[in-house]
Amino acid sequence: MSQQLFDVTNKTALITGSSQGIGFALARGLAAAGAAVVLNGRDTKKLADAATVLSAEDATVHLLAFDATDHDAVRVAVDGFERDTGPIDILVNNAGMQFRTPLEDFPADMFGKLLATNVSSVFNVGQAVARHMIGRGAGKIINIASVQTSLARPGIAPYTATKGAVGNLTKGMATDWAQHGLQCNAIAPGYFDTPLNAALVADPDFSAWLEKRTPAGRWGKVEELVGACIFLASAASGFVNGQTIYVDGGITASL
Instruction: Give yes or no for residue 3 having a pLDDT over 80.
Output: no
- Structural domain count, the chain: 1
- Tell me if 255 is assigned to some domain: no
pLDDT digits (tens, 9 = 90+) for 89-128: 999 999 999 999 999 999 999 999 999 999 999 999 999 9
- Tell me if 252 is assigned to some domain: no
- Tell me if 253 is assigned to some domain: no
pLDDT digits (tens, 9 = 90+) for 38-85: 999 999 999 999 999 999 999 999 999 999 999 999 999 999 999 999
pLDDT-derived band at 255 (thresholds 50, 70, 90) equals confident
Mean pLDDT of 213-221: 97
Indicate which residues carry an active-site annotation. 159
- Tell me if 93 is assigned to some domain: yes
- Tell me if 254 is assigned to some domain: no
- Tell me if 202 is assigned to some domain: yes
Those residues whose C-beta lies under 8 Å from the C-beta of residue 82, and which sit 6 or more positions away, are 88, 132
Residue 223: give its domain's CATH number.
3.40.50.720
**pLDDT reported for residue 1:** 54
pLDDT digits (tens, 9 = 90+) for 187-209: 999 999 888 888 899 999 999 99
Query: Any long-range contacts for 58-65 (C-beta under 8 Å, 24+ apart)?
Result: 59/28, 59/31, 59/32, 60/31, 60/36, 61/31, 61/36, 61/37, 62/12, 62/36, 62/37, 62/38, 63/38, 63/39, 64/14, 64/38, 64/39, 64/40, 65/40, 65/41
- Tell me if 152 is assigned to some domain: yes
Which residue range is the domain that position 132 belongs to? 2-246
- Tell me if 251 is assigned to some domain: no
Instruction: Give yes or no for residue 2 having a pLDDT over 80.
Output: no
